[in-house]
Amino acid sequence: MTTRQSKSNGKRPAKVSKVRFGQGGELHQTSSVSDERLTTNHGVPLSDNQNSLRGGRRGPTLLEDMILREKIQHFDHERIPERIVHARGSGAHGFFELTKSLAKFTRARVLTEVGEKTEVFVRFSTVAGGAGSVDTPRDVRGFAVKFYTKEGNWDLVGNNIPVFFIQDAIKFPDLIHSVKMEADRGYPQSASAHDTFWDFVGLMPESTHMVTWAMSDRTIPRSFRMMEGFGVNTFRLVNSKGEGTFVKFHWKPRLGLQSTCWDEAVKIAGADPDYHRRDLFDAIASGSFPEWEFGVQLFSQQEADALPFDILDATKVVPEELVPIRIVGRLVLDRNPDNFFAETEQAAFLPTNVPPGIDFSEDPLLQGRLFSYQDTQLSRLGTVNFHQIPINRAKGCPFQNLQRDGHMQMQVFKGRANYEPNSLAEAGEIGGPRADPEGGFRSFQLPIEDRKVRLRSESFGDHYSHARLFYRSQSEIEQAHIASAFVFELSKVSLDHVRTRVLSNWRNVDEDLAQRIANGLGIELPAKSKAFVEPKDMEPSAGLRIVGKYPLTLMGRSIAILVTDGADGRIFKALVKQAEAEGATVKIVAPKVGGVMLKGGTKLPADGQLAGMPSVLFDAVALVVSEEGCTELLREGAATDFVAHAFGHLKAIGFTRECQPLLDKANVQPDEGVVNLTDNMDLFFTHARTRLWEREPVVRLLS
C-alpha cells in the first residue's frame, strides 16, 4: 500500500513513501526520502508517526512519548480562543439522579447513593465547524456532562456515536486537519464532503466503522433532546476492594432517538442556523425538560477477553445483545444558562476529572485524551486557574491544595506554606491539606511488565467486521440513507483515486453497499482492498437502528398550523387542543406576521410569517384555510414550498377541503399521511407522531 502524491505546479512528483501494516493492522513507515522524512519540531527524525509509545502492545501510553506530546500540544494550541473541535456548542444545567446502586463495582458516591441528586452542566456540540457555523450539518455531536459530585467534578466527555475514527490519539491531529477547512482555501466549513477528509479515510482503514455511522442518520439528529450519548472509550469502575470492572457509559433519550432527512437538514440550515440551540432553549424555558436514562455496560477482564474484539479499541462497539445495558440513573436538564459566554463557552471538560472509584483503561485513544484536554484548556482559557471559573468550579465539595499563583488567581491564600509535606501546623501555623490514603483517588493496580514499543496489538487489526455489523443491523430505509450519504459525499471529491480507494475498502464491509455507492456515482466498482484481518459476520443488533426505536408520541414534537383569513375557527381550536394535550408544541403560521381574522371575526395572532417559518422547522403541518385564502396562497411560492417540502420530508399533512388546489399545485399525492381534518382529525395525529417512511420512494431516488 502506498501513499501517492499528485503532480502540481509543473514540479517533479515527490517520491513515494511506503507504509506497511503489521500483522495486527498496525502502521509502520518502512522507508522514506531523506529530505522529506518526518521530524519533530526540533529536527529529530521520526521512525513511526502512527503509534504512540506504550508499555506493551496493549499497555498504557507512556508520558515520556515526546512525539505524541509535541504533536498533540501543537495541535491543541492552533486556535485561540475558540475550541479547535466542538467549537459550536449549546449548554444547560440540570441534575443527575441515581436510581440503582453500583456499590458492588465502584466506591464512587455518585454511583452508589440511590436517590441522591447531583448538579450537572451539559454541553452539546458539533465537531467540525467553527463557532459561527450552523447547527444541522452532517457531523458527530458532542455530549459532555459535568457532574459536580461530593468527591469532585466528574466529566463524562462523549459523543452521540459510541465509536471513533481512530485507534490511537497520535492520529487525532491528522484526522481533524483532514476534516477541517482545506488549508489552502479555507473551505468547506463544517462539512466532510471534500477531498482531504476522504483521502485520510481511504488511507486509514480503522476509520471505516465510524465513517459508516457518520453517513447514517445519527449525524443529522432532529434535536439534542433526541440524541443518544456515549462515553466512547472503555473506562474502569473500581470498588472498595480495589477490584476493577470495565464499563461503557450510555445516555438514552426519553423522547427516543430521532433524526431529520438530509434534504431537510440542509434547508433548516438556511431557515434557522440556530435550530438545535433554539430547540433546547425553548424546551427548557417552556418546562418541557429534556431527560435521558443513564446506563452502563459492565464486564470483567475474563468477559472482555471472551469477546470477539478488543474492548480497548475505540473503533469497536459492544452490542447490547452481548453485554446488556443496565439503567441505573436519569439526567434532567431544567435550567438554561444565564450567560452564554460565562457558562457554555467557558465550560472546560476534562476526561481526567474522575472521582475515586472511576478509573481509566489502557485504550490508546483515551490515554492521549487524558493529556490533550487539559493542555487545550490552558491555551483556550489562558490560565492554569481555569478551574476557578464558576462554571468549572467544584460545587459538591471544597477544592483545596497547595498550588499557588498563576495568571488570574482568584483565591487569597493565608499562611506561608505552599509546599508539602510541611510541619508548620506543629508551630500553630496553617499547614494546609494532606492526602487521604483511604478515601482519596487510587489508580487500579494494573500489572505492567513489557517492552516499550510503538506497535498496536494484533487484536486491533480487524477494521471491517464492526462496520459490517452496523450496516447490516440497519433497516432498509436506513441502509438506503447511508448509501445515499456516501454518494453525496464522494460526489464532492475531485480526486478519482480517493473515491476508488474508499470504495475498495467498503467492499470489505458489504458488497451491496459498495455497489450501490458505485451505481450512484456512475463509476465501475474497483477491486476489493486487502483486509489485514478478514471481516467476520456478527449477529445484527437492533439496538443500532433508529427507525422503530422512538416512542409514538407527540411529546417533544412540533406542529405548524398554516392559517388564512376566513379559516374555520372550530377546526383550528380542535387541532390546538388535541396537540397540546398530547405534549406537542403548536406554532401559528400566517401569510403575514400580524395574524389573521378567522371566520366569525376572531383575531388570531401569528407566531411567524409564512416565508420565515417554512415547514422544515416542524414535525407535522396542518393547513386550515378559506377558499379566498387558498387563492391567495396559490400566488405565493413560499406556500407551495411549505406544502411540497412537508410532503417530501415525509411529514403528516392535515388539511381542510378548501386547501385542495394548493395540494395539487404542490404535487402532493394522496396517501395515509395526507388527511382531511374534517373527516378524521385523529388519523392526522396518528401519523404526526412519526415519519411516513413508506412515502420516501415516491418523493426521492435513493441509492
Which range, of 12-26, 100-114, 180-194, 394-408, averages the lowest pLDDT?
12-26
Q: How far apart are CA 663 and CA 639, in angstroms?
A: 10
**What are the residue boundaries of the structural domains of the chain, listed by start?**
74-192+220-392, 558-699
CATH of 558-699, one of 1.10.12.10, 3.40.228.10, 3.40.50.880, 3.90.1150.10: 3.40.50.880
Reported as a pLDDT band with limits 50, 70 and 90, residue 37 is: confident
Distances (CA, A) of 125 to 136, 224, 459: 11, 9, 32
Q: For the segment 682-692, what is each residue's pLDDT rounded down to a tens digit?
A: 999 999 999 99
Q: Is the dihedral of CA 460, 465, 471, 472 positive or negative?
A: negative
pLDDT digits (tens, 9 = 90+) for 72-98: 877 887 765 788 899 899 999 999 999
Q: How confident is the model at residue 348 (pLDDT cuts 50, 70, 90)?
A: very high
Q: What is the pLDDT of residue 13?
A: 40
pLDDT mean over 120-132: 95
Distance, first Cα to last Cα, the chain: 30
Q: What's the chain's average pLDDT?
A: 92
Is the pLDDT confidence value at 462 over 50?
yes
How confident is the model at residue 682, as a pLDDT? 96
Q: Please give the positions annotated as active site.
A: 86, 159
User: Which of the following CATH numbers is that of domain 74-192+220-392: 3.40.50.1820, 2.40.180.10, 3.40.30.10, 1.10.3860.10?
Assistant: 2.40.180.10
Give the range among 21-25, 403-407, 594-598 with minimum mean pLDDT.
21-25
Is the model's pLDDT at 8 over the cut of 60?
A: no
22 pLDDT band (50/70/90 cuts)? very low
Can you give the pLDDT at residue 438?
83
Say if residues 285 and 336 touch (Cβ distance below 8 Å): yes
- DSSP 8-class letter at 269: H
Q: Which residues pair with 156 in a beta bridge?
A: 145
Q: Residue 1 has what pLDDT?
A: 36
Q: Range with the lowest mean pLDDT among 257-261, 377-381, 621-625? A: 377-381
Please give the pLDDT value at position 35.
59
- pLDDT (average), residues 312-330: 97
Grid coordinates belonging to 183: 488549508
pLDDT at 20 over 60: no
Mean pLDDT computed over 537-547 = 94
Spatial separation of the C-alpha atoms in residues 315 and 307, rounded to whole Å: 15
Would you state the pLDDT for residue 383?
87
What's the confidence (pLDDT) of residue 29? 41
- Which residues 6+ apart lie within 8 Å of 512 measured at CB? none
Give the model's pLDDT for residue 80.
55
Beta bridge partners of 560: 587, 621
Cis peptide before 591, with omega less than 30 degrees from 0?
Answer: no
pTM above 0.85, yes or no: yes
Select from 32, 142, 135, 40 the least CA-distant residue to 83: 142
pLDDT one-digit tens code per residue, 636-685: 999 999 999 999 999 999 999 999 999 999 999 999 999 999 999 999 99
